[in-house]
Chains A and B, each alone.
Chain A
Amino acid sequence: MTLDHWLAAPLAHALGRALAHFLWQGALLAVALRAALFLGTERSSRWRHQAAAACLLALPLAFGITLALLLSGGHPIMAPPQAAPRMVFGPVIAQGAPAAPVDWLAWLAPLWMGGVILFYAFRLAGWVRIDRMRRRGVCAAPAEWQQRLRALAAAVRVSQPVELLESCLAGVPQVIGYWRPVILVPLGALAGLSAEQVEAILIHELAHIRRADYLVGLAQSLIEGLFFFHPAVWWISAVVRAEREYACDDVVVALRCDARAYAAALTKLEQSRWPAAYAAAAANGGNLVRRISRLLGEPAPARVPSARASALAGALVLVVAVATALVVWPPARSFAQAAPPAESTVDKQDQAKGSDPARRSLEQLEELLAAKQEEIQEAEQAAGKAQELLRRNAAELEPALQNAGGHPDEFAKAEEQVRKAEAALKELESQADESQKLLDEQRMATLLRQLAAGQAGKSQQLQELEKQLQELSNGKFHEALRKQRQQIAQAELALKQAGAAYGDQSLEQIQKQLQQAEKELDQFNQGVMIGVARASKYWGQGSNSPLAQAQPESPRPQAMTELGAAYQKWLNEDVAYIITDPERRDFLALKTDADRDQFIEKFWQRRDPTPGTPENQFKEEHYRRIAYANEHFASSIPGWQTDRGRIYITYGPPDQLSVSKMENVLRQVWRYTYIDGLGYDIEVEFTDTGKTDDFHMTAAPASRGSYWQVTAKSPGETQAIVQSLRAKGFQALAGRSGFGGGAFRVGAEAASTSKSVMLETGSVLVGPYPDEASLAKAKAALEAEGFQPMRAQ
């Protein structure tokens, strides 16, 4: 984005005007503050400080509101044209905002921004430097003073812990930070002053902490930087600083009563401060004389800076005058311009640009459309050229063939002509490629047209465009192709006749070549057709394109392999989990939709538990499960795709569900009594770690075995049970045999048949079982020993 663009943006105009408005707003606020201070001469410094701070805060507020009003509509409160511009205190913009943008005002914005950035950069560097003084060249003050400070902090009601440090870099006592404040005193100050005087100084600093002056100072700095160009802002800021010191002095006097000792301490400090490192720019000090006169109750000395004050007042008046002129002048001009509205087209355009981005984008769209139209015209020309080439070739070919009938010598010539025709065909093919490209571009144009379709007045143009497209791709190409075909047929006929006359071998060759040419023509033809079909598909998406209607029988071959969306959904979503691999292969091999419909019907019939009835419980249950999964398990992905959804759809609702939570990990165990193909007592485990919003399967469906329980009355009885179970084929689990940890495994039926027994607790883990028969056998054996199945493990 260039500067010019930026200057044309509404924000730049608004900023520039807001800055101009700020000139008088700032001056006005300064005058208001001066008046308030004059009226409040007798008031406390605290009150005066607050007034000045409020005034300072009103500055960015006034600026922000002005900017917002200018941005939102530009005419916040339109003053009647004949009314004289009123000065209104506060953030109200009463003057009719200039309707005609004043260009140089927009330039204020970048200049101002540059200044603010520069200012802030310097302030940031200064802040870093000050903050570094907390750590650099400091040492802890003697413990006695630290203790004394704590007592004083309680007196001043400072609640945060304050650190007292001696600094070799600080020239004057100062406070750094607010939340963890540090009071820095210059080296030697503690020793050089009397204890009473040090206390007075410390109270002053504590008062600063209590009043959060460090934070106020930072905010002040930000505001100063924002309005660095306005002398009134600097004046207000200086008032805040001065009143802040007076207020802290008042706290010292209120607590210590001895103003004179305090004044002497300040003077001594000032005298002993080391050669100033920062004598430079700061002009905010220099009021120590007034502070001390104030402390001592002396009349303020003849104010040296009175000349400066009057200069400041003069500057203020000047600024107000200039700002007023700026603000009043543009409306006057715009009224004069507004009289003949027809002439203010520049304004209108400007407004359209600024206020109506939609219209602007429409204009861009129109431009694009015009460019596309041009390209289409070019394509048309290319098509015309191709047509002419064909015609010329045919014209050359025909007499040659006729001649070939007369003289065998001429045959070679005819051959040549056929070769030429082939070359021409190739050229045509390449042109067809080009046309295809153009068709692609036309597609884009069509999309653009769809975008702009809503715009009234453009439809006619678009219809024309469409017609042209139709003519181009449908009419002219077809015509050309038809003609070419005709001509080639004629040439063939002529050759046949010639062959009948001479029976020449080369005739067959020519015929072959002709066939080849014809084939290539067919291919080309098909390419064009596909292109046209694609184009018509795109047009068909838009409005009722005449082209789409003209091509109802798409020349594209019937979709032999592609699946319709409905069938894809059926295969990949509806029955994704239950369709077998052979079924999937068969389905994908099907060619027509009728076959597919039949397949689906049979698919469900095969699974119908009650064939012959109109209801198919399996199918109903299946779709119910999908609906349930989508309703209950949906997360970032649809419910049927989640792990739980998959298990639910495949195996149905679990027979038992146990839910647990441990260390924010949710765990669900689904238990199925029996699953065909998997066996008995199948468990699936899902956990939700909280990292995703979904349960993930952490243990695939597998038999965990089931617990059986018996209450053994004595160790002896347990032993008897163990022996009995052993006799029946149960085996002890490796490493856990005996009564101590009596877990047992049984291998009765086959090596894979394992059962285990927990005897000490009187419970038995049975499973997993490969088949129902072995389960029944194990169960019978356990029941004979008095075991009971344990549920909900």
Chain B
Amino acid sequence: MAKSNELPRPTDAELEILTVLWSRGPATVRDVHSIISRRRPAHYTTVLKLMQIMTDKGLVKRDEKQRAHIYSASRPREWTQRQLAGDLLERAFAGSASSLLVGALAARKASAAELAELRKLVGEYEEDKR
């Protein structure tokens, strides 16, 4: 936290807004609110207030050139993801959580060698397609 260029870690509510901005790109408060309220009831003013606070914190940037202000995330998602992943608790339980994970890909990231092999296998497919 000491470094000036380090942004504060976003709260859960702020993270949600950031997710929307990363997903849909630069958007107005109204856009963000409409996406958030699809998942849970939220007040427009709450979202507006939150986004103003985030602007002050530097988490989002505000483009005031148009009448409706357009917000965008100030950092790419990878940056924030890395910041969140650095959480000690997250790391401590990540292994335990990953064994409960059900999904298309394994919890463990493929190694460089495996990736190369994968690319080769799929590359053959891409070539076949042509």
Contact A288-B105, Cβ < 8 Å, known A140-B38, A218-B100, A296-B125: yes
B7 within 8 A of A: no
Residue of A nearest to B96 (CB): A126
- Flag if A292 contacts B122 (CB, 8 Å): yes
Q: Which of B51-59, B60-68, B112-120 contacts A (4 or more CB under 8 A)?
A: B112-120
B23 within 8 A of A: yes
Q: Which of A185-227 contact B (CB under 8 A)?
A: 187-188, 201, 204-205, 208, 213-214, 217-218, 221, 224
- Flag if B102 contacts A174 (CB, 8 Å): yes
CB within 8 A of B19: which of A167, A175, A286?
A167
Contact A214-B110, Cβ < 8 Å, known A139-B35, A187-B23: no
Q: Which of B64-115 contact A (CB under 8 A)?
A: 77-78, 80-82, 84-85, 90-111, 114-115
A360 within 8 A of B: no
- Flag if A270 contacts B110 (CB, 8 Å): yes
Q: Smallest distance from the beta carbon of B43 to chain A beta carbons, Å? A: 17
- Flag if A260 contacts B105 (CB, 8 Å): no
CB within 8 A of A174: which of B12, B101, B124, B129?
B101
- Flag if A285 contacts B97 (CB, 8 Å): no
- Flag if B107 contacts A284 (CB, 8 Å): yes
- Flag if A168 contacts B95 (CB, 8 Å): no
B6 within 8 A of A: no
- Flag if A285 contacts B125 (CB, 8 Å): no
B3 within 8 A of A: no
- Flag if A125 contacts B103 (CB, 8 Å): no
- Flag if A140 contacts B101 (CB, 8 Å): no
With an 8 Å Cβ cutoff, the count of chain A residues facing the other chain is 69
Bound: A278/B108 CA distance, A = 7
Residue of A nearest to B82 (CB): A275
- Flag if A285 contacts B108 (CB, 8 Å): yes
Question: A298 to chain B: which residues have CB within 8 Å?
Answer: 121
Residue of A nearest to B36 (CB): A139
Contact A205-B103, Cβ < 8 Å, known A270-B118, A275-B85, A279-B108: yes
Q: Smallest distance from the beta carbon of A620 to chain B beta carbons, Å? A: 76
- Flag if A273 contacts B96 (CB, 8 Å): no
A61 within 8 A of B: no
Contact A135-B100, Cβ < 8 Å, known A263-B121, A286-B106, A288-B110: no
A123 within 8 A of B: yes
Q: Total A-B residue pairs with C-beta atoms closer than 8 Å?
A: 210
Residue of A nearest to B125 (CB): A260
Q: Smallest distance from the beta carbon of A148 to chain B beta carbons, Å? A: 16
B48 within 8 A of A: no
- Flag if A275 contacts B78 (CB, 8 Å): yes
Contact mask for chain A residues 370-413; partner B; CB cutoff 8 A; 1 contact, 0 none: 00000000000000000000000000000000000000000000
Residue of B nearest to A271 (CB): B115
Contact A277-B122, Cβ < 8 Å, known A123-B100, A270-B110: no
Contact mask for chain A residues 262-302; partner B; CB cutoff 8 A; 1 contact, 0 none: 01101101110111111111111111110011001010010
Residue of B nearest to A125 (CB): B93
CB within 8 A of A278: which of B95, B114, B119?
B95
Bound: A559/B19 CA distance, A = 90
Q: Smallest distance from the beta carbon of B79 to chain A beta carbons, Å? A: 10
Q: 13 A-B contacts, Cβ less than 8 Å apart?
A: A125-B93, A129-B94, A138-B39, A139-B23, A140-B39, A168-B18, A168-B22, A172-B107, A174-B102, A282-B95, A282-B99, A282-B108, A298-B121
Report which A residues bind B (CB closer than 8 A): 122-123, 125-127, 129-130, 135-140, 143, 165-169, 171-176, 187-188, 201, 204-205, 208, 213-214, 217-218, 221, 224, 245, 248, 260, 263-264, 266-267, 269-271, 273-289, 292-293, 296, 298, 301
Report which B residues bind A (CB closer than 8 A): 12, 15-16, 18-20, 22-23, 35-36, 38-39, 77-78, 80-82, 84-85, 90-111, 114-115, 117-119, 121-122, 124-126, 128-129
Sample of 11 further A-B pairs with CB below 8 A, known A173-B105, A271-B119, A284-B107: A123-B99, A126-B96, A136-B12, A137-B16, A263-B121, A267-B122, A271-B118, A273-B105, A275-B82, A280-B95, A296-B121
- Counting from the closest, the 9 A-B pairs by CB-CB distance are A285-B106, A281-B95, A126-B96, A174-B103, A285-B108, A126-B97, A277-B85, A278-B94, A172-B105
